[in-house]
Amino acid sequence: MTTIHEPVTTTATPEELAVWPSSTTEPHPGGATVGGVSLAEVAGRYGTPVYVLDEGEVRRRCRAYRDAFPEAEVHYAAKAFLCRAMAHWVRDEGLGLDVCSAGELELAVAAGFPADRIVLHGNAKTPHDLKRALWYGVGRIVIDSPSEIARIAAAVGPDGHQKVMVRVVPGISAGGHDKIRTGTEDQKFGLSISDGYAQRAIARILDQPQLELTGLHCHLGSQITDVKPYLAAVRRMVGLMARLKEQHGLALPELDLGGGHGIAYRPGEPAMDLTRLARKVRAELTEACAAAGLTVPRLVIEPGRAVAGPAGVALYRVVSVKHTGGRTFVAVDGGMSDNPRPALYGVRYAPRLVGRRGSVDLAPVTVVGRHCEAGDVLAADARLPDDVRAGDLIALPVAGAYHLSMASGYNAVGRPPVVAVHAGRARLLVRRESLEDIHSRDVGL
C-alpha cells in the first residue's frame, strides 16, 4: 500500500503504530489519541464497545487511490462498511460506490450519493434488489448468473435501457483465506471462462437490445498482497475481450478488476503496494491490449477494506482476567457479535492497552469476548502489560472494515456505535443498538 502516514508526536515506536491511523499520537504512555481525540475520552463518553473511525484517514486513502489510478474509475466497496457519513466522504473524494443489496443502495442514496455512480453486485440479487436498482437508476448492474439476464431485461422493459457488466471467473486462486478466494472455479460467484458459461451469457446479453454490455468484471478475492494475480487476471480478461471482438465485433470499453487489496492487521505483516499495483496493472493492460489489437479499456477497481480498515479502532473494556490452564484470558465486553472475523477467518490482531500507563513487562494473553462460544476469541496471541486488569481499556486497530457490517445480534447484546474523529472533534455516526431496539422487533406471542 502507498505510504500515506503523516509524521506524528508519540512515545510509541513507529513499528508499534504502523497499523494505526496516521493521525495517531501517544504523547504519554497509554494516552493514545486518534484524529486529535483521546480514545479514553471516547470510551468514557460513548461507552464500550465502540468503533472509532478516523475521517481524515478515510479521505487520505480515497485520495491515494485516485492519485495511483488517475485514469481509472475507483468505486468504494460498501460491504466493507457503510453509513451515511461514509458515503458522503467517499462521494466528496471523487469515488464511485459498489453495493450488494437494496439496503446498501438505499442507504447511499439517502446520503445523497448519485445513483449513476453506483454499481450493483451480488450472486443472488433478489427481485427487490433489482427493482430498487432500476428505480433509482444505478450506473451498472453486474450480471452474476445467466438467469439474471432475462430478469433484468424484463424489468427494464422493451423501451428501457440499463448498462450491465458480466462477472467472469478467471480461474485464479488468490486471497488470504479459502473463504475469501473468489477467482476460482469452485465457488458461487461469476461465470466461468473455461466451461464457456461466460461466453454464452454474453451472447444472450447481446440479444437483449435494452441491455448495454459495457465491460467485463472479475474479483479474485480478499487480502491479496501480491501484484501477480492481478496481472494474470488482466491477461485472461483481455484474452476474452479479444475473442468477443473476433466473434461479435464487440469492443468493450470497460474492464473491472475488483478489489481485494490486502492490508496489514499487525506490525510487520505484508500489505499491497498500491503504487506498484497501479504501475504494473497499467503496463500489463497496455501491453496485452496492444498484442490483441484492442483499444485499452477504461479500468475500474473496487477497494473496500483498504480504504476503511486501517481508519478504524475498536475499543473494549476489560471485564475480567483469568489465569487457567497455563494461559491468561483477558475477557472484554464485546466479541464475536461485533467482530466475527477471527472466528471465521482466523484473523490476528495487535491490541494495545490505552487509557493508562501499563507495566513495561509484557505477557502473552488471549483476548476473548463475552459470548457463549469457545471460538469467541479476538486476539489469540496478543502481548499486553502483565498488570492488565478489569476496567482497563483495550484498543484493537484496523477495525474499520467487516466489523460493524458483519456484526450480529448474538446474545442480544446490541451492536456498538460508530464515532467519527477528526481535527480534535468526535461525533456520533451510528448510535448504539439498544435493548429497546431489540425488543421492538419482537412482536410477542
Give the catalytic positions in this structure.
372
A 10 A CB-CB count for 315 gives 28
Cell 485516485, located at residue: 66
Burial class (CB within 10 angstroms; exposed 0-12, middle 13-18, buried 19+) of 288: buried
d(CA 45, CA 212): 51
Q: Residue 314: which residues within 8 A CB-CB, separation 6 or more? A: 49, 50, 51, 52, 334, 338, 339, 395, 396, 399, 403, 416
**221 grid coordinates:** 478475492
- Longest Cα–Cα distance in the chain: 72
Q: Residue 398: which residues within 8 A CB-CB, separation 6 or more? A: 19, 263, 264, 265, 309, 310, 312, 349
- What are the φ/ψ torsions at residue 271 (nearest 5 degrees)? -140, 160
Taken as a whole, the chain contains a residue count of 445
Q: Residue 66: which residues within 8 A CB-CB, separation 6 or more? A: 74, 93, 94, 95
